[in-house]
Amino acid sequence: MPAASIYPKSLPGSARDRLLDVALELFATRGYQAIGLRDLAGQLGLHAGSLYAHIENKQCLLFELIEGAVSDLLADTKRRMRGARTQRDRLQRFVHAFVAFNLAEKHRLVLVTREFVNLTDEQQREINLLKSSYAALLRAIIAAERGESGYISDRTGLITEAVIGMLYGQSLWQSTQVPEQKLTDALTHFVVGIVNGGKDSALEA
């Protein structure tokens, strides 16, 4: 059963959104471990103890933020991939969805990559289910690019993990401003290189 961090009827919508926004910014910029309920309450003009009327605990608040981020990335990726006419188009749309999310939701992506370790085992399992659904979208594209029909090889699984790792890694190391479409085109080109490299028979297990 998912751990709910905020009771839906405890706060007016605007106050609830403000709490999520403050937690997102502080967790992303200063680190989850460095932020206490006193810090969150101070930003909201409340006493620390009063937050327990609205949230179960700080860890559940982090879970809600990470779950929401991965869910939104998954949903937006599916939406952008609709109507793609070719596998290459699907691949570019997958990459574009990640680039757009990274540029618009930098703090949320930071939580997914950096603060996942601070969740409970149960919470991590729930997030991993969402991550698996996300990876499955890319895995199907790569399998088609590699001519796999009716099955997906272990090699395709490794390529999928490598591509997702590259996308997340680039987002964390990005130090220069690159236009969204130019970055999408460049990363798609790199992904195609990884996929084509995986077709080399010498690399097959």
Give the tokens for residue 119: 């969740």
The dotted CATH code for 13-59 is 1.10.10.60
pTM score, two decimals? Answer: 0.86
197 or 120, greater pLDDT: 120
Which candidate, 103, 132, 120, 14, places its Cα nearest to that of 64? 120
Q: Tally the residues of the chain.
A: 205
Give how far the C-alpha of residue 84 lies from the chain's centroid of Cα atoms, to the nearest Å.
22
46 or 167, greater pLDDT: 167
The dotted CATH code for 63-203 is 1.10.357.10
Q: What is the pLDDT of residues 152-194, one digit of tens each?
A: 788 999 999 999 999 999 888 776 788 999 999 999 999 999 9
Q: What is the pLDDT of residues 103-134, one digit of tens each?
A: 999 999 999 999 999 999 999 999 999 999 99
The pLDDT of residue 13: 55
For the chain, what are the domain ranges?
13-59, 63-203
